[in-house]
Amino acid sequence: MHVLADLAAPIVIAQEDVGAGLGAFLPLIILVVVFYFLLIRPQQRRAKQQRQLVASVETGDRVVTLGGIHGTVRFVDEDTLHLEVAPGTTLTLSKQAVARKIVDAETGFGDS
């Protein structure tokens, strides 16, 4: 009878080891899920909003660049735009440099 108990003991230990291995990975899995929802997903959302903003820039829009330069878009090309920052002063910038559009508080549209 003791022989059967001795043979069954390694089987019980092996089953406990499998459960312990999964339990060891559970905190890692939870950490990956938390990082996804707190860091990766919001960054993807911001990147999508930036792509939509860049695609929506048109001639006459008032914008602010990433460097803080305010101006009016005078010409839009495939990858660049010409920004008038003062009468007669035009800068050529990458479209990716646009941080936001300036919106008129009364109409909800650009100041143009």
- Measured from the Cβ of residue 10, the count of other Cβ atoms closer than 10 Å reads 9
Residues 42 and 65 occupy one common structural domain: no
Q: Is the pLDDT of residue 17 over 50?
A: yes
Q: Which pLDDT score, from 0 to 100, does residue 68 have?
A: 94
Contact 103, 109 (CB under 8 A): yes
- pLDDT digit string (tens) for 44-60? 999 999 999 999 999 99
Domain interval for residue 73? 58-101
Global confidence as pTM: 0.63
14 lies in some domain = yes
Residues 48 and 68 occupy one common structural domain: no
Residues 28 and 1 occupy one common structural domain: yes
Q: How far apart are CA 3 and CA 95, in angstroms?
A: 79
Q: How many domains does the chain have?
A: 2
Rg of the chain (C-alpha set)? 30
* Domain at 63, CATH number: 2.30.30
32 lies in some domain = yes
Q: How far apart are CA 68 and CA 98, in angstroms?
A: 9
Q: Is the pLDDT of residue 9 over 80?
A: no
Residues 43 and 86 occupy one common structural domain: no
